[in-house]
Amino acid sequence: MNEVKLSKRLEAVAAELLTGSKMADIGSDHAYLPCYAVLRKIVKGAVAGEVVEGPYQSALAKVRECGLTDIISVRKGNGLAVIEPGEVDVITIAGMGGALIRDILDNGKEKLVGVKRLILQPNIGAHNIRKWLVEHDWELIKEIILKEDGKIYEILVAERGDGNAPYTTFREHGMLLGPFLLQEKSDVFVEKWMHEKQNLSRIFHQLEQAADTEENQKKKQEVLQKIALIEEVL
């Protein structure tokens, strides 16, 4: 993978960018995504944000190598601290856990002024993001699920909500499994949730063997509830 040829998951993220926009890629690593988007003339400018020194230096080097230092600003900082309110139109956050992506958005809420679209690719825990979007008036407009190198990824695309679109709120099934993905029910979706169900069954078995505490009883009920939701849709 490089700035010319992205991974399948990052290509899917790039396909959701708004043409002519300015993007911020948070956790940009080697800055492949913003370099690709600028070189393909999808975006007119970009910020590549990194909190870790090694990836930050890698991003700087790649942007210099591509001759894009005037168009892509590489910045070191935590989450959305690398941008100013109104500076970008689109924010991408890919390759992190859903809970971390949620926290990045929540801690940087004031930086979302003027942002038209969020493109979020959690490795796990997408339900954390869906819940945050609902609570903060962002409208989930599209979901993508794909498999690459034996791993399954979800991509969530959201725009500012008006409270009237059909997926402003979803029932439990939609929050956990994704309202759009639930409608499509692709082979990859079924594979993912069959595997998740097996994992949850293993967890329940382990809890059954553990001490019968109030906390364990609560955990068992939560696990059983998730298994039931999955079984309903599969």
The ranges assigned to domains in the chain are: 8-170, 189-233
Specify the pLDDT at position 170: 63
Q: Which residue has the higher pLDDT, 216 or 163?
A: 216
Asked if the model's pLDDT at residue 165 lies above 70, the reply is: no
Residue 168 clears pLDDT 90, i.e. is over it: no
Q: What CATH fold (topology level) applies to the domain 8-170?
A: Rossmann fold (3.40.50)
Tokens of 186: 């692709």
Calpha distance 115→126 (Å, rounded): 21
Output the pTM of the full model: 0.92
Phi, psi (degrees; rounded to nearest 5) at 157: -115, 125
- Contact in structure between 68 and 95 (CB atoms under 8 Å): no
Question: Bigger pLDDT: 68 or 175?
Answer: 68
Strands (E), 53-212: 72-76, 90-96, 117-122, 138-148, 151-160
Give which of 124, 128, 156, 163 is closest to 140, Cα–Cα: 156
Q: Which ranges of 16-109 does DSSP label H, i.e. alpha helix? A: 32-39, 53-65, 98-107
How many angstroms separate the CA atoms of 147 and 104, rounded? Answer: 25
